[in-house]
Structure 1
Amino acid sequence: MSHNYSPWPLIFLVIISVVHINVASGAKPSQSEILLEFKNSLRNVTALGSWNTSTTPCGGSPGGWVGVICINGDVWGLQLEGMGLMGTIDMDTLAKLPHLRGISFMNNHFDGAIPKIKKLSALKSVFLSNNQFSGEIEDDAFSGMVSLKKVHLAHNKFSGGVPESLALLPRILELRLEGNHFKGQIPEFRATQLQSFNISNNNLEGPIPESLRKMELTSFSGNKNLCGAPLGSCPRPKKPTTLMMVVVGIVVALALSAIIVAFILLRCSKCQTTLVQVETPPSKVTCRELDKVKLQESNTESGKKVEQGKLYYLRNDENKCDLKDLLKASAEILGSGYFGSSYKAVLVNGSSVVVKRFRHMNNVGKEEFQEHMRRLGRLNHPNLLPFVAYYYREEEKLLVTDFIDNGSLAIHLHGNHARDQPRLDWATRLKIIKGIAKGLAYLYTELPTLIAPHSHLKSSNVLLSKSFTPLLTDYGLVPLINQEIAQALMVAYKSPEYKQHGRITKKTDVWSFGTLILEILTGKFPTQNLQQGQASDTDLASWVNSVSQEEWEDEVFDKEMGGTTNSKWEMVKLLKIGLACCEGDVGKRWDMKEAVEKIEELKEKDSEDDFYSSYASEMESPSRQLSDEPSFS
């Protein structure tokens, strides 16, 4: 007797079981799955034969995968060298490995643009030498990689300038860039502990930065236009041919165009006893210093008489000087920003001034410019750095402010610190934030018609006096900046609605203030990728919100700030104020007045009521542990 048997019920049960198993295993892929996915992005993978499902990456001999380095069962490094590999280095896939700290793909056949290295923000070592990578490296390619110690990009075909973000890496120990096609100047390196550095056989030019002059001569050979120690001295600039050549004098080895230099000379027409500050681009925290040179005046440009400029003073000063005095001053370039450059000039009487030369104000008429500058000149507040004088020329504008030798907040938060220079403690940071709040409140009262009374708020635009009183700079300039440029570049800390619509409003000022508060409390760069081991463009506020409040003390607050024993809840209050200013929903975001009022209520130390009310409101979330393995070698 035959039976009519159908296999479909059994097949159905098998499918259900497989689905159940996949769901039960969780959405998070295993290390094996991640590495096999990464392998699929490569070509010519014969050498990776051991990468298969019959073994595990960290199984140990004989089960481990070739080139995979593990620590305590976690994939910590990939050392895939000399394997003839080609294809794409898939950073998005590698970012799924939370413990990955080192990658080496040296001596392979990879080509095209450099991979998006900064998606692996926790890396300590990157080795890509001896491949066929080409093209320019974006200036921010290494932004936020605060743990990076070793970068080897030698013997590829990279072109363009050396990315500034490399020079800003705080822990860099080894940097190998030899045998490429890099051009332009070598940026000033912030790190002082460089042990191995080689940039030979490129197309670089100009003076070797002060921070690199102790390196071996062979580190710079093969760049015929480099000069300065340990190479030969830089040639003296030709005698300036224009007042504007003043600036050219400053940038001797750079041989800037005569016109630009001449402009700078005119712009350098300031003369007050002490003046302004450095402007630094948003992705940078330190300023570049070039060799001091003598500013000289000349009265011709291209054979034509150049009109002597006039400095317009915005306040009464006993030590006023004219353009001639300024042109006789020793000067140095402090830095370059999106809108122009900053120069410090030391006058004959020994006083120092800083001139900011702005490039993008040429759509503003003279009367409109002068009226607005007089309006800014009438402002008077202890937390504003006053504008002292200005120079107007149709194609160029100069603003003069007091020089503050204690530097910017950005430098104190993120720069190198001398041994005798104390870090910013909690009391000092609270003082700075309160001072910034008072300065902003004053601007909002005195400049109510501006779409954003500051509009360019960032840590490098906050100077600190010797007593650490904050002084806001670059405020109130939106009406003078060419609007197409202002909308695109003025805002350093970009709110969600600004990213979407590109419009500056008072609420973008509030977002910037909130981000600045978080930057001061965490000690982190607002633009860095804060999700360790993950590829995302998470802003500082989103990162803080991703950490449970009970972990803020260990994970969020800057350890160098101290003060958590007696001030924890006041610090928590301030952090929450920063988050309220960074609310993604503009309608829910605090306005400046509310934020300032709440900040005024803060104290240096907790009260008993603070302890109980704050403790009761703490949220819960799983803790995260950040590993601190030795650097990949």
Structure 2
Amino acid sequence: MADDTKFLLLFLLLSSSSLCFGTEQDIRCLKSVQRSLADPGGVLRSWDFENDTDGYICRFTGVECWHPDENKILSLRLGNLGLQGQFPVALQNCSSLTGLDLSNNNFSGPIPQDISRRMPYLTSLDLSYNSFSGLIPQNISNMTYLNLLNLQHNQLSGQIPSQFSLLTRLTTFNVAGNLLSGPVPTLLQKFSSSNFAGNQGLCGSPLDECSTPRRRWRPIRIRLHRINDQSSIGAAVGFVVGFVVAFYFPHCFVCSERLRAYVVRI
């Protein structure tokens, strides 16, 4: 409850700051988004920035403001509009944004690794049903106010960052239909298995247990050095010479009188 109060106070402070600053920055944000995306349906092209009345951007399709007479954006709902392009990094200029929905479009490329720095106050992030690829940013774990995170049906790979266990406010989480692998972080194991389905490499509760990799015994090759013909002949000659010398001159090799007599007798 205390954290929620701090969060509310933070946004009250933001909303009470300079109206001119908030207006210019948020308008610049939408202009940059409009320029950076392909818009086959023409929805974003309907955003008319020639109007200068208070709160005029709040009447744009997909734009929700903190107050209808203030050009300060609360959330962007741009789902299912046929938009194309990469993640619009210009959204960092929407300084008081708390909700972002880009679902059911044709976005591609990576999710920015520093997304939490660009949009630190998000409470909901829906990027589902696109073609985002690459790793899920570990940086998302810094979005401490996040309640909803939908990433299903993209082309995301790698592991779900273990740091996601820090997202204690999450009530909705879905990564089904990606290329993810590795164990499900502990905090996220409370969600249904269907929220992780379609990732062949994922394991751990609520999915099948992760298997312990077996150690493979590898045969060790012992190299026996091949003795060449010259070495064989030399060894044989040395043995014969040594035997003859020892037989005819035993006194050179046997110090003991008793042993010498025995050798002579032989």
TM-score category (smaller protein) = 0.5 to 0.7
Aligned to 1:188: 186
Correspondence for 1:122: 121
Pairs within 5 Å for 1:530-545: none
Taking the aligned partners of 1:169 and 1:58, their CA distance within structure 2 comes to 37
Shift of residue 50, structure 1, vs aligned partner: 2.7
Match of 1:255 in 2: 212
SS of corresponding position for 2:187: coil
**What is residue 39 of structure 2 aligned with on the other side?**
44
SS at match of 2:133: strand
Q: Counterpart in 2 of 1:203?
A: 200
Partner SS state of residue 178, structure 1: coil
Distance 2:193 2:76 in 1: 22
Preserved CA contact (<8 Å) 2:141 2:163: yes
**For residues 91-106 of structure 1, what are the structure 2 equivalents within 5 Å?**
91=89, 93-106=90-103
1:162 counterpart residue number? 160
Choose from 37, 51, 55 the match for 1:55: 51
Q: What secondary structure does 1:84 align onto?
A: coil
| Partners of 2:54 and 2:164 in 1: CA distance | 32
Q: Residues 145, 56 of structure 1: CA spacing in aligned structure 2 closer, same or farther, 3 A cutoff? A: farther
| Equivalent residues of 1:58, 1:68 under 8 A apart | no
Find the partner of 1:33 among 15, 25, 28: 28
Report deviation, 1:197: 6.7
SS at match of 1:189: helix
CA gap of 1:101–1:197, structure 2 versus 1, over 3 A, is: farther
* 1:47 maps to amino acid: V
Is the 8 Å Cα contact of residues 58 and 70 (structure 1) preserved in structure 2? no
For 1:123 and 1:59, locate their aligned partners in 2 and report how far apart those are by CA, in whole Å: 22
- 1:252-289: CA deviations, max 9, x gaps? x4323428xxxxxxxxxxxxxxxxxxxxxxxxxxxxxx
Question: Post-superposition shift, 1:128?
Answer: 0.7
Secondary structure of the 1:200 match is: coil
Which residue is equivalent to 2:146? Answer: 148
Structure 2 CA distance for partners of 1:35 and 1:205, relative to 1, 3 Å = closer
**C-alpha distance after superposition, 1:174-219 (max 9, x if no partner):** 0111111111221211796x689711111134431xxxx4xxxxxx
> What amino acid does structure 1 have at the position aligned with 2:39?
N
Residue 96 to residue 195, structure 1, CA distance change in 2 (3 Å): farther
Secondary structure of the structure 1 residue equivalent to 2:30: helix
Q: Where do 5+ consecutive residues of structure 1 fail to align? A: 1-24, 214-219, 221-225, 228-252, 260-300, 305-633
Contact in 2 for aligned 1:58/1:65 (Cα 8 Å): no
1-side partners of 2:98 and 2:176: how far apart?
24
Q: CA RMSD in A?
A: 3.2
Amino acid at match of 1:50: S
CA separation in 2, counterparts of 1:188 and 1:44?
A: 40
Write the distance in 2 (CA, Å) between the matches of 1:109 and 1:70: 25
1:360-439, aligned counterparts within 5 Å? none
Report the counterpart of residue 63 of structure 2 in structure 1. Answer: 68
Percentage of identical aligned residues:
27
- Residue type at the aligned position of 1:31: D
Q: Is the CA contact 1:135–1:158 (under 8 Å) kept in the aligned structure 2?
A: yes
1:154 alignment partner, SS class? coil
Q: Helix, strand or coil for the counterpart of 2:141?
A: coil
* In structure 2, C-alpha distance between the alignment counterparts of 1:177 and 1:160, rounded to whole Å: 12
Q: Relative to structure 2, which stretch is displaced further, 40-49 or 80-89? A: 40-49
Distance 1:80 1:196, change over 3 A: farther
- Distance 1:26-1:115 versus aligned 2 partners, 3 A rule: closer
Give a deviation string over 1:544-588, Cα, whole Å, max 9, x none. Answer: xxxxxxxxxxxxxxxxxxxxxxxxxxxxxxxxxxxxxxxxxxxxx
Moved over 6 A (4+): 25-28, 301-304
Structure 2 residue aligned with 1:176, among 154, 174, 177? Answer: 174
Q: Are the structure 2 counterparts of residues 150 and 255 from structure 1 closer, same or farther at C-alpha, using a change threshold of 3 Å?
A: same
Paired with 1:57 and 1:302, the residues of 2 have a C-alpha distance of 76
In 2, Cα distance between equivalents of 1:202 and 1:195: 14
TM-score normalised by length of structure 2: 0.63
* Unmatched segments (≥5 aa) in structure 2: 1-19, 221-266
Q: Name the count of aligned residue pairs.
A: 195
Q: TM-score, normalised by structure 1?
A: 0.28
Tell me by how many angstroms 1:80 deviates. Answer: 0.4
2:3 match: none
Find the counterpart in structure 2 of residue 131 from structure 1: 130
Query: 1:78: Cα distance to partner?
Result: 0.3
Query: 1:258 and 1:58 mapped to 2: Cα distance?
Result: 68
Pairwise CA distance, 1:27: 11
Q: How far apart, CA to CA, are the structure 1 residues paired with 2:128 and 2:22? A: 36
Q: Is the 8 A contact 1:174 1:197 kept in 2?
A: no
Cα 1:190–1:29 shift into 2, 3 Å:
same
Q: Specify the SS of the correspondent of 1:40.
A: helix
1:446-461 counterparts in 2 under 5 A?
none
Alignment partners' CA distance in 2, 1:255 and 1:112 = 33
Q: Partners in 2 of 1:27 and 1:69 — Cα distance?
A: 14
